[in-house]
Structure formats: structure tokens, C-alpha cells
Amino acid sequence: MVETLTEEDCFSQISKLNAKLIQSESSKTRFLSLIRNEFDNPMVGMVTLLRQLSQPSSETMDEDARETLHLVYMDALKLNFQLSNIISVAAVETGVLEHNTTIFNIASMLNDIDDALRHIFETKLLKVTKNIQCSEEIFNDRDKIYTILINLIANAYEYSTPSTEVEINIFEDDGKLFISVRNRGDKIKDSKAIFDAFYQQTDGYNRTHQGLGVGLSVVGAFVDFLGGDIFITRDGDSNVFVASIPSLEQDSAIGFGGELDAFFFDD
């Protein structure tokens, strides 16, 4: 016999399912927050301490020991960067994304990124040109824009021909914030697949570039979340990534963002 449900029974079951969905979403949010917090303080402390210990000004350490600490510092930066991207991917995949709209200084943000990507930059002997043609004080989602910038720049560093130039342009036009990153390197094989998670242009143990293949997928997801667009073009022997993000009007309910901590992508 098939049981016939009343309208009240159907409503009750739907309400229970909805409550379970809300609880599940809340659990995912709490879990990601816990993961970020568990990694945040140790990584910030580790990176800061290693940076201080590896400074040339230290007179209590011989050159070999300082060089060893510098190598550990580089590995800590790499680990911090990759862990942050993994957490960002998890946030994207689980739909746990929130807006963090605040005022921040774009030049200060680029300086933070310089420090964070030293582990890639030092191996490439690159020249970097930065051109900011907008107000240095920007009102937008600081964390998402930081994530977009650091991954576009990291990709440019990683895939640049050694001893060439990376050009970073940030400007506003027609109500949008534009981020353009140009680097000289091999032509991208698939300009659409490159934004897929875990995509690598070369696979296997013999691949020439490091990384998890998630950075650009996070960029694509965050640009889309902010209501923007991103595209890639080939200009001579250079690849150019251009992201456009809608500018926001300031309101009274805003925060003021200073320099970022060493742990990134805090959505």
C-alpha cells in the first residue's frame, strides 16, 4: 500500500531537510574557519621568525647556517602559499564564500605579495614593473583581490623565461578595476582549461614547473564571485592575463584593511 502524505506531512519533511542543509552548510563554514585558524598562527610565526633569522645583519650566525635558514624560509613561504590555495579551493568547492568589503592600499598589497612570492622570484632573476593608475586606496573585497593578484603574479613568475620582465598594471576605467599581468614565456596551450582545478600544461614526474595547478582556478572562481571577467591574450612572445572587477561605491558600513598577515586567502 502506498502511503499518501498530507500537505502538512510534506511541509514537515521539507522543513527537516532544509534544517539539515543549513546545518551542513554551517558545519562546512566552521570546519574551514578552524582549518584556517589552526594553520594561521603557526605559519605566521614560522615565516616571520625564519625571515628574521635569515637576515644578513645577524652577527651570531655563520654564512652556512644563515644560508640553510634561508632555504628553510623559502620552503616555508612555498608551503604557506600552497596551503592557502588548497583552503581557497575548498571554500570554492563547498560554496563557503563571503564578501569582505573594506578599504585597502593596493601598493601595500603588492609589497606583501613581493615578500610572499620570494621563493619563486629569486629563482627566476626577473625584473618586475608595477604601474598603478588608480587611487591607491581601494574599496572592494580585499581578500579576494589579494588572492587574484598573488596567483596571477605567481603564475607569471613561474612560467616566465628566466631573466625577463613581468609587467603588472592596475587601473580603473568605466566603473571597473582592471588587473593586467604580462610575462614572457611559452604560449598557453588551452586558455580555457587553464582555469580548471589541477590543470597542468605538462603532466607526470618530468614536468618542468612546480605547483598544484589550482591557483588559476581560484582566480577564475573569485573573479566570477565578484561579478567580473578574465581573459588571456597572446601579445608577441608574451602572455597577458586581464581581470576586470566591478568597482564598488563606499558606504558607511566599511572596515579599514591594513597590511595582510603572512597567511593568505582568508575568505
What is the three-class DSSP state of 177? strand
Is residue 109's pLDDT more than 80?
yes
CA distance linking residue 235 with residue 263, whole number of Å: 34
How much is the pLDDT for 101? 92
| Fold of domain 101-256 | Heat Shock Protein 90 (3.30.565)
Q: Which are the contacts of 103, defined by CB distance < 8 A and separation ≥ 6?
A: 137, 138, 139, 250, 254, 255, 256, 257
Using alpha carbons only, give the angle 53, 59, 60 rounded to the nearest 5 degrees.
Answer: 75
User: Hey, where are the domains in the chain?
Assistant: 7-94, 101-256
Helix axes 142-158, 215-225, angle to 10 degrees: 150
How much is the pLDDT for 263? 36
Is residue 45's pLDDT more than 90?
no
How much is the pLDDT for 199? 57
How much is the pLDDT for 146? 95
Is residue 50's pLDDT more than 70?
yes
* pLDDT higher at 210 or 73: 73
Is residue 30's pLDDT more than 70?
no
Q: How confident is the model at residue 164 (pLDDT cuts 50, 70, 90)?
A: very high
Tell me: the pLDDT tens digits for 77-103? 888 888 887 877 777 777 777 888 999
* pLDDT higher at 206 or 200: 200
Contact present, 85 and 151 (Cβ < 8 Å): yes
Closest CA to 219 of 78, 47, 73, 85: 85
Q: How confident is the model at residue 253 (pLDDT cuts 50, 70, 90)?
A: very low
Tell me: the pLDDT tens digits for 125-163? 899 999 999 988 999 999 999 999 999 999 999 999 988
